[in-house]
Structure 1
């Protein structure tokens, strides 16, 4: 509710950022969790976003004229709500960078999927940031990611920071993550 205090953890001094979504985000109704499960409906990278307020482990935002809540569900011990929101709301429209990528990478990002050879930045644009609760280092050689609360996959990186391999325990999860031209 506009103008109302939203509860414990509210930080009135936090900046009300505005810009673009860093990456493809996934929403369950109006809730966008830091888990960013790929099986939920997608909001494309580069969508206009404006923070309208902060509450307890959440930020109220407007994305393309629709209200949402960014929920900091898992990474609270590793980064503050404001740090996480600062990664989600970026000042430069990522669609401009995405448009300059090779066609297979550009198409994969737009589909919310991955192809080997992507950089970490490109992977984030496609599927969002890895959970900081499970991935304490952005530069780690392996990231643990999820398509749903039960569908884990792992991303293995080369020493130069390129996606080397997508590993999933089952083919259904792999099909949800890996981009293939039709």
Structure 2
């Protein structure tokens, strides 16, 4: 009998207490799941977009004003639904901007197409073509070719915005003191892709 009691005591001493595991609530997203519109013309590789917005072979434009809804955040990406198609926009070159603020650059609550309706026809046509022309405002340039990356353009009030058509072809948009485009400079290939033809003069 004593042996049985000793064995039972030994067994009780070696049993590891079972801790109660409580289900954890999922962490909230680091930013709001906003519904709105794409701020500007962005080039997609199929299901992903980079903030550098290269005009490379194999990319296609997702047009300014496309209905957009942010669905998730993940490190340097945010996922979104663009007119029913999943996309991810990656913060490659603007990492000094927190991801929620970065996302809200690209998904805006006011439809840009409503603003565009009041623009001069030549400006509106240039934006729809993804091109820039002298006389455009900063907002119109953004709609046409998106934001210049923050790593090279820390202030959007600067008189020059630096862009890249691809990894070796830079072009610059220069503004006058009124904030209107006075010139677009770069190599001939880049300019042929980004610079809109001047509107025909009326006789």
TM > 0.5 fold call: yes
| Aligned positions of 1:28-177 closer than 5 A | 28-39=45-56, 40-76=59-95, 78-168=96-186, 170-177=187-194
- Whether the 8 Å contact between 1:38 and 1:127 is mirrored in structure 2 is no
- Whether the 8 Å contact between 2:30 and 2:73 is mirrored in structure 1 is no
The aligned counterpart of 2:7 is none
Cα drift, residue 148 of structure 1? 1.3
- Whether the 8 Å contact between 1:134 and 1:144 is mirrored in structure 2 is yes
The separation in 1 between residues aligned to 2:53 and 2:117, in whole angstroms, is 23
- Whether the 8 Å contact between 2:30 and 2:100 is mirrored in structure 1 is no
The aligned counterpart of 1:17 is 34
More relative contact order, 1 or 2 (CA 8 Å, 6+ apart): 1
TM-score (norm 2): 0.81
Cα drift, residue 13 of structure 1? 3.8
3-state DSSP of counterpart to 2:166: coil
The aligned counterpart of 1:6 is none
Moved segments of 4+, more than 3 Å: none
Number of residue-to-residue matches in the alignment? 171
Name stretches of at least 5 consecutive residues in structure 1 with no aligned partner: 1-9
Cα drift, residue 114 of structure 1? 0.6
RMSD over aligned Cα atoms: 1.5
3-state DSSP of counterpart to 2:189: helix
- Whether the 8 Å contact between 1:11 and 1:55 is mirrored in structure 2 is no
Q: 1:16 to 1:176 in 2, by over 3 A?
A: same
Name stretches of at least 5 consecutive residues in structure 2 with no aligned partner: 1-26
Deviations 1:46-98 (A, max 9, x none): 0000011110100111000000001011111x211111111100001100111
- The structure having more radius of gyration, on CA atoms, is 2
